[in-house]
Amino acid sequence: MFELSSEAPDSNNLGTSVLEKEPEVKEPPLYQVILLNDDYTPMEFVVYVLQSIFNHNHEKATEIMMAVHTKGKGVCGIFSKEIAEMMSHEVNELAKSHHHPLLSEIEPLTD
Ligand code: TYC
């Protein structure tokens, strides 16, 4: 059962003061799936990849594709490491199966 205590939160039962520890829990690190530009993959195929694998709508997919096209790379999504690896692998395999040089990679998110 729980007990109500009138003790100050920073004291223990020995009458001495203790500093509360930060809880020892850490969020798992997040990873960005990065799409790389190339000169040959058709724009419409990139938009299709962003819609079908990352669930972006046509407008958002077009915006990301154009950002990659003009800046060289861009973020498709942010996931746990395992999911980011799976998504990136899916992009690279789908591109290969259509004989396009499109590539993605993952990168840890640092904040
Ligand atoms: N640069 C490509 C073209 O001009 C289009 C493209 C966009 C390719 C984004 C890859 O990740 C990419 N056809």
Q: Tell whether ligand 1 has an atom less than 6 A from the beta carbon of residue 101.
A: no
**DSSP at 26:** -
Question: What tokens were used for 9?
Answer: 């939160």
User: Is the Cα torsion angle 110, 45, 72, 88 positive or negative in sign?
Assistant: positive
The burial class, CB within 10 Å (0-12 / 13-18 / 19+), for 41 is buried
DSSP state of 17: B
Closest-CA residue, ligand 1 atom 5, reads 43
CA of 96 to the centre of ligand 1 (A): 15
66 C-alpha to ligand 1 centroid (Å): 8
Question: Each residue's pLDDT tens digit in the chain (111 positions)?
Answer: 333 344 444 444 445 455 567 778 999 999 999 999 999 999 999 999 999 999 999 999 999 999 999 999 999 999 999 999 999 999 999 999 999 999 999 999 997
Task: Give this prediction's pTM.
Answer: 0.81
Q: Are 21 and 58 in contact (CB under 8 A)?
A: no
